[in-house]
Amino acid sequence: MISKILIPKNHPRYCSLKIREKLVEGFEKGLVAREGLIAHGRGESFDYLLGEKTIEPALKSIDAASALFILAEHPVISVNGNTAAICASQICDLNRSLEKSSVEINLFYHTHVREELISTELKKYGLKKILGIDPNRSTQIPELESNRRKVDLDGIFVSDVVFVPLEDGDRTIALKKMDKKIITVDLNPLSRTALASDISIIDNIVRALPRIIKSIEYHKKNSTKKELKEIVDSFNNKDILNESLDIMRSNKMLSKI
C-alpha cells in the first residue's frame, strides 16, 4: 500500500496530482491495469502542453458531441479501468442525462476480476444495468484479435454512436469499420483514436465530462433536431485536431522563463 501525502491546494499541479492519486488507488484496488498508469502518463504530457485547461477547440467538440449524443438512437458509453478509476460518478451522470444510452465495460487488458471491480465501482453511483459482462451476450468485432474484440450484443454491437474515452487506436479503427459514429475524449491529438474518431474532444476526461453533461442539458432544452443536425454536419474533426496542435505548439510557458 502506497502512503498518501497531503497535497497543498495551492500546489501548481494540485488537480493533476489528485487525478494521479485516484489512478493509483484504482490500481491498488485492481481496477486499473499497470499499463493504464503508463497510458495516463502519456495523457498528462499533452495536458501539460494545454496548460491543463479546456481549450476553445475542445468546447466546439463538446458542443458537437452533445448534439450527436442527443440525436443517437442507441448511444453506448464504453468504460475502461482508467475511466472508472478517475470519473465513475460523472460517467453515471452522463448516462442519466442521456435517456437512451447504456454503459458497457470494455477492457484492453481483460480479466473477469477487473470487470467485476469496475462494475461494482459504477454501481456505487447508481448504475443498475451494465453491459459487456455477460458472456452469453458477447460477440466479436471483426478484424481484432483476442479479448479486445469482445462487444455486447445489446450494446456496442447494435449501437449507432459509441463514446470511447481513453481508447486504443486499433479498437477505434475496428469500430469505425463497423460503421459506428465515434466520440472520444483523448488528450493526444495525434493518437490513432483522435485521428479516426468522428468527434475528438482534446481535453482531460475529468474536465470534459461535466461540460459534456451541461451541454447536453442545454441542447435538450433549447435546440431543435434540425439545429442539432446542423451542428453535427458543420463539425470538422481534422480542423479541431489542427487547432489543438497549434495551441500546443504556441504554448506560452517558455516566454515566462
The residue ranges that bind ligand ATP (CB under 6 A) are 39-40, 42-43, 46, 166, 168-169, 185-188, 191-193, 204-205
Q: Where does this chain touch Mg ion (CB under 5 A) — which range of 47-55, 167-175, 200-208, 229-237? A: 167-175
Judging by DSSP bridges, how do beta strands 130-131 and 102-105 pair with one another? parallel
Any contact of residue 167 with Mg ion (CB under 5 A)? Answer: no
CB of 193 to Mg ion, least distance (A): 7
The correct pick among 152, 167, 168, 198 for binding Mg ion (CB under 5 A) is 168
Nearest in space to 131 (alpha carbons), one of 75, 169, 82: 75
Cα 229 from Cα 188, distance rounded (Å): 27
Q: Which is nearer to ligand ATP, 42 or 96 (CB)?
A: 42
R_g of the chain, CA atoms, integer Å? 18
CB of 168 to ligand ATP, least distance (A): 4
Residues 6 or more apart in contact with residue 156 via CB below 8 angstroms: 76, 78, 104, 106, 131, 132, 141, 162, 175, 180
204 contact, one of Mg ion, ligand ATP, none, CB 5-8 Å limit per kind? ligand ATP
HSE (side-chain half, CA atoms, 13 Å) at 6: 1
Encoded amino acid at 235, one letter: F
198 contact, one of ligand ATP, Mg ion, none, CB 5-8 Å limit per kind? none
Q: Which is nearer to ligand ATP, 228 or 240 (CB)?
A: 240
Query: Which parts of this chain interact with Mg ion (CB under 5 A)?
Result: 168-169
